[in-house]
Amino acid sequence: MRRRDFVLSAAALGSAPALWAASPIKPSPKAALIVVDVQNCFVDGGTLPVKGGADVVPVINKLGPAFQNIVVTQDWHTPGHASFASAHTGKKPFETTTMPYGTQVLWPDHCVQGTEDAALLKGLNLPTAQLIIRKGYHPQVDSYSAFQEADRKTPTGLAGYLKQRGIKTVFVTGLATDFCVAWTAMDARAAGFETYVIEDATRAIDLNGSLAAAWKQMAAKGVKRIQSGDVATA
């Protein structure tokens, strides 16, 4: 499989048009809600804040009761992780470097295992969530996707878990739209799941045009872009 670059190409700017549901989608028992990285590190006051990141919480909380199957992910880095700019002499956050698996965006130190910065937001209310997938815990490999690490060789086991549960469709929410959400959604499609990204339940970093590029790439992979109002929650 061809490696997907970490810096999503912004060659054709302008996001793809949203795909609106003709009528509200009622999630079946074979659907799962995936909530990506809604953690302290990615909201105001965190180490890698995404503008408006906390605004996804009430939207996700409203969606939660509509799903019988919910999976939550956490970025869970070791101290001194290879994706941190501080681990590379002379490098600054948001610069890039070359890793054995390709181009790597270098981030501020964030979501370090066991810290409050890595904890899920306290306002996130998903009492029926069955599984937490922790990713990015291998010291030399970053991991954006909930399905596969950045080396594109190491699976997290999520695809097998969902398939064994009989899941056919996934709805992806969380942070950030143009990185962990996009990679998760595209890998879900590659694994054979019908895949929706609920746009207003996500927020983006938008690094050098990465948001527009991410939507274009997701559309090309068959990911459907909807709003929370397109999902029947009653």
Contact 112, 158 (CB under 8 A): no
pLDDT reported for residue 32 = 98
Query: Which residue, chain included where needed, has tokens 């904890």?
Result: 119
pLDDT reported for residue 22 = 63
State the pTM of this model. 0.90
Mean pLDDT of the 215-231 span: 98
Look at 7 and 70; give whichever has higher pLDDT: 70
Residue 83 has pLDDT above 50, yes or no: yes
Mean pLDDT of the 7-22 span: 41
Q: Is residue 107 part of a domain?
A: yes
Q: Is residue 5 part of a domain?
A: no
Q: Is residue 90 part of a domain?
A: yes
Query: What is the domain range of residue 101?
Result: 31-70+82-228
The mean of the pLDDT values for the chain is: 91
Catalytic residue among 75, 111, 142, 180: 180
Catalytic residue at 26?
no
Catalytic residue at 153?
no
Catalytic residue among 135, 178, 187, 230: 135
Give the closest residue to 8 by CA, choosing from 223, 195, 181, 227. 181
Split into its structural domains, the chain has a count of 1
Say how far apart CA 66 and CA 234 lie, in whole Å.
7
Q: Is residue 19 part of a domain?
A: no
φ, ψ at 133 (rounded to 5°)? -100, 120
Residue 21 has pLDDT above 70, yes or no: no
Mean pLDDT of the 112-127 span: 97
Say how far apart CA 184 and CA 190 lie, in whole Å.
10
Q: What token pair was written down for 11?
A: 């060659």
| CATH code for position 37 | 3.40.50.850
Q: What is the CA radius of gyration of the chain?
A: 17
Tell me the percentage of the chain whose pLDDT exceeds 90: 88
Q: Is residue 102 part of a domain?
A: yes
Catalytic residue at 111?
no
Residue 4 has pLDDT above 80, yes or no: no
Contact 76, 113 (CB under 8 A): yes
Say how far apart CA 228 and CA 226 lie, in whole Å.
7
Mean pLDDT of the 11-15 span: 35
Mean pLDDT of the 147-172 span: 96
**pLDDT-based confidence at residue 234 (cuts at 50, 70, 90):** confident
Say how far apart CA 173 and CA 25 lie, in whole Å.
16
Residue 13 has pLDDT above 80, yes or no: no
What is the per-residue DSSP string for 136-164? S-STT----SSSB-TTSS-B-SHHHHHHH
Tell me the percentage of the chain whose pLDDT exceeds 70: 91
Q: Is residue 2 part of a domain?
A: no
pLDDT reported for residue 72 = 98
Q: Is residue 130 part of a domain?
A: yes
Mean pLDDT of the 171-187 span: 98
Q: How many residues does the chain have?
A: 234
Give the closest residue to 231 by CA, choosing from 55, 21, 85. 21
Q: Is residue 1 part of a domain?
A: no
**For 44-59, what is each residue's pLDDT tens digit?**
999 999 999 999 999 9
